[in-house]
Structure 1
């Protein structure tokens, strides 16, 4: 007798209900387990697609999701007329299924328009080497541009990009080839950008722009644009003079952070209350690079910084002492990586160039050592070499993650 495949008891599943199913799914160890469960039957898929549930699942499993696919980097220019060419994706070690997802995407960003907003056709094609056009802006007669789009930030599989000529912005998803055009922010002197995305909804986001024109007086002005309205609005103003030169945006616990020049302080913008604050940083922040990280729901009250000191990963926690000043304490320290790095780099003198923390994403620390790009998995403490010498990009590097498989997302549940 031929065997028949087991059929899910839909009546029992219906009795359980979506809320109880989501509480069960919350205890699954990895996103892969959640995806397998979601694809078992339609009620399971409906329960797992809840945006609110996906946000809870991600907070509960900070090291397991999102999945790191690689790093967007800006390659060094070989031609003087080609300023900052199109970004390149350096792949992380991936299982076969994840690699197929990457191969199906468009990480060359060829789905984005190669035209500015100054007219119907403001460009003249000069060359088409490397598969991307080299363009000349007729209106401004500027130098040719190899690729008009530059990466400003990257969160949950979406890129915040700026057109080098028109100054308009765009939010793009290379996996789905979807993108949204944003108007140029009404800012005289923009000095920083940030992208905040929804963990459960694939289309909801907020774009932020920091400008030095603080409402007519010296200060920082924050502008915000929501995906639901697509127009810029004033969010907050911080009086005073602040230098954000070469400061990259950091993000944790619903706030954006920019380190001020000198390293003594950091500007924070709460994206929920739309309030600025100034934070005093520990002494090491003046000399060493760091990134802000999240430590989960249990430790939500503190601010955590991860840095590399003496070839060891250190995590420092800062708590308000009641007077508005943060008190910093060393809360975690890893083993020394000196010998492993010397063997991997091929020289015990690598420390002369320092170890620069570029960012911490999906439980992975990214480091730069002169012309080399390294990573350390915080769960396994495994050290990897991502790029070196002629393949190593400039200091602009944006880890790219896939928040959830496309089949797990439901854009109709944005309001949940």
Structure 2
């Protein structure tokens, strides 16, 4: 039996006690108890270690900068209450230009990624993704109302992605290359050309300067980006593969998917034990007496996906919104007639327990985080 740890200071003993608080609500209560507790709990180093033990919970769904929060009796509802009325759009503190507006592209680890677009035609950026390479790009911390503008993409890098050869371009946030620095982040732009793929990366640890990576292999379109165990994952329907980008080595690999998969919104990849991948798939409930859909959990072994468990879902038609904060979030495929809202259900990726999460509109990015009082600056 290992001897008990020896604590050299009172602060070390308190930190060990705080590490045993498993919910954000309990940690927030401890932080509010007195100034010395708050000093320890809001320290960057403590929060980094706490996040490693207890990842921030799923708080809600972002819909055009407004949070649709978890609602009671869901376990995340208490933490979500702290964000009531909070504005995640970042537009109130970003610089303005005549005739320009800000379009949110991504949200990750408490940061938002936005691009400058024409105020008269914000949808133009969606239709003409090539324009993103020449737009103002901002990374924001909506809780602390901070932002940084990235340097322009150099001409020699934009030349790698000619407009006539571009099939799709996706910009997104990525964890920083310095895991010990809580202010470190990266912005990635993955361009799908007819002949290859080009990845442009801006790293905060390098002053935001851009550099490029080229991948010769080319497959079909990519959908449903997720971050799992240090890999960005995309669904590629032609051929049916899961494309993986290692965020440390910046190398691409592929994993075969079950042939019965049809759409990217019908499944999500989750973190399984021992660094493995898991898959949650919605299965039509046409064969059930009550017609309710099923949720299938599978893991890969010997290059094949093996079924581990079936879970009966509460309603007939559902689709996947994404994964964040230890939960997969599902939405109903029909609205509540009286309110015109969809119902959201969460699935705990460890226990596979299904719970009602709340009601809202179509939704967008999932937001996971600690209450504002426990959020250290990310920029």
Q: TM-score, normalised by structure 1?
A: 0.66
Alignment of 1:240-389 (within 5 A): 240-244=217-221, 247-262=223-238, 264-287=240-263, 289-295=266-272, 299-310=273-284, 311-319=293-301, 321=302, 326-337=303-314, 341=315, 351=317, 355-362=318-325, 363-367=327-331, 369=333, 373-379=342-348, 381-383=354-356, 386-387=359-360
- Once the two structures are TM-superposed, the CA of residue 89 in structure 1 deviates from its matched residue by 3.5
- Once the two structures are TM-superposed, the CA of residue 96 in structure 1 deviates from its matched residue by 7.0
Alignment of 1:17-416 (within 5 A): 17-41=10-34, 43-62=36-55, 65-68=56-59, 70-73=60-63, 87-93=65-71, 98-105=80-87, 107=89, 109-115=91-97, 121=98, 123=99, 148-165=101-118, 167-185=135-153, 186-187=157-158, 188=161, 189=166, 191-197=169-175, 203-213=183-193, 218-228=195-205, 229-234=207-212, 236-244=213-221, 247-262=223-238, 264-287=240-263, 289-295=266-272, 299-310=273-284, 311-319=293-301, 321=302, 326-337=303-314, 341=315, 351=317, 355-362=318-325, 363-367=327-331, 369=333, 373-379=342-348, 381-383=354-356, 386-387=359-360, 392-393=361-362, 397-401=364-368, 403-410=369-376
**Secondary structure, aligned partner of 1:164:** strand
**Secondary structure, aligned partner of 2:255:** strand
Distance in 2 (alpha carbons) for counterparts of 1:278 and 1:42: 50
- Once the two structures are TM-superposed, the CA of residue 378 in structure 1 deviates from its matched residue by 2.2
Larger-Rg structure:
1
- Once the two structures are TM-superposed, the CA of residue 42 in structure 1 deviates from its matched residue by 5.1
- Once the two structures are TM-superposed, the CA of residue 302 in structure 1 deviates from its matched residue by 1.0
Give the conservation status (yes or no) of the 8 Å contact 1:51–1:410.
yes
Range with bigger deviation, 377-386 or 194-203: 194-203
Distance in 2 (alpha carbons) for counterparts of 1:15 and 1:92: 40
Q: CA RMSD in A?
A: 3.4
When residues 366 and 177 of structure 1 are mapped into structure 2, their CA distance, relative to the original with a 3 A threshold, is farther
Distance in 2 (alpha carbons) for counterparts of 1:101 and 1:265: 38
Distance in 2 (alpha carbons) for counterparts of 1:382 and 1:398: 19
- Once the two structures are TM-superposed, the CA of residue 30 in structure 1 deviates from its matched residue by 1.0
Distance in 1 (alpha carbons) for counterparts of 2:180 and 2:283: 35
Distance in 2 (alpha carbons) for counterparts of 1:152 and 1:368: 24
When residues 110 and 46 of structure 1 are mapped into structure 2, their CA distance, relative to the original with a 3 A threshold, is closer
Give the conservation status (yes or no) of the 8 Å contact 2:83–2:372.
no
Give the conservation status (yes or no) of the 8 Å contact 1:105–1:176.
no
- Once the two structures are TM-superposed, the CA of residue 111 in structure 1 deviates from its matched residue by 2.4
Distance in 2 (alpha carbons) for counterparts of 1:97 and 1:282: 37
1:118 paired residue number: none
Distance in 2 (alpha carbons) for counterparts of 1:257 and 1:109: 30
- Once the two structures are TM-superposed, the CA of residue 157 in structure 1 deviates from its matched residue by 2.8
1:7 paired residue number: none
Give the conservation status (yes or no) of the 8 Å contact 1:267–1:279.
yes
Q: TM-score, normalised by structure 2?
A: 0.72
**Secondary structure, aligned partner of 2:220:** coil
Distance in 1 (alpha carbons) for counterparts of 2:16 and 2:192: 46
Cα deviation code 1:193-231 (max 9, x no counterpart): 321247997643211110135xxx921122221223212
